[in-house]
Every structure is written in C-alpha cells, then in structure tokens.
Amino acid sequence: QVQLVESGGGLVQAGGSLRLSCAPSGRTFSSSAMGWFRQAPGKEREFVSGISWNGGSTHYADSVKGRFTISRDSNKNTLYLQMNSLKPEDTAVYYCAADGKPWGGVATRRYEYDYWGQGTQVTVSS
C-alpha cells in the first residue's frame, strides 16, 4: 500500500519557522513531481508549492513566495517544505502530494496528483 506520511507540523508564533517532511512508503517517487497543498478551516484545499521530478523547477503560490522553500532529497525519497516568517493566515492542515506518473514537470492543480498524505497541522499564533 502506497502512503505519503507528513511530519514536522506544530504550533509556532508568528515570524517563526517550521520544516515539513514527506516520506513515501510502498513505492518511490524519486522520478515524480511532488507538491504541497494546504486547507484551512472552512476553505478549499489550495496549492502551496510544487517541484518537478528532478528538482530543477519549482513553483509557489503568491501568498508564500519568498517565505517558503520546497526541496527534495531523492536519495532519501523525501520531500521538504521549509516555512519561514510564518503568519497566522498560514494556519492550515498541510498535505503532501505525488504524481503517479514519472518525469513530470511542476504540477499546481489537485487533479494532477494521484497520491495524498493524511496531512499535518500547522498553527501560527499571533
């Protein structure tokens, strides 16, 4: 069974930092595009950041550009999201996602991803 397991969420004060990790199990996604989405209470799940299969291309939502950095370690089969200068509006459940097909470029839409994690809560206090 393929699973994506996120970790690294928590409670942080505004201006603080967190690093999220996503570790797949059951298969490797080292040749697949991956991304991060988030969902705040009462809102739809939204794109945060995506990275191409080889890490050569990245894309960010305007709301996090300049504050968040996506990266991947193919040797460890792990995806990361470094979040700096956090704001209360960043509070949400953050989800890791992976494209089931290889060699993909950056994907920004939910339907482009085939696998999803269960999410990790990020809460930013003011």
Query: For residues 16 and 12, what is the distance between their CA atoms, to the nearest angstrom?
Result: 6
pLDDT bucket at 38, cuts 50 / 70 / 90: very high
User: For residue 47, what is the enclosing H or E element?
Assistant: strand 46-51
Of 22, 32, 23, nearest in space to 55 by CA: 32
Phi, psi of 53 (to 5 degrees): -60, -35
- DSSP 3-state assignment of 45? coil
Per-residue pLDDT at 8 exceeds 90: yes
pLDDT bucket at 102, cuts 50 / 70 / 90: very high
> Cα angle vertex 75, ends 17, 101, to 5°?
95
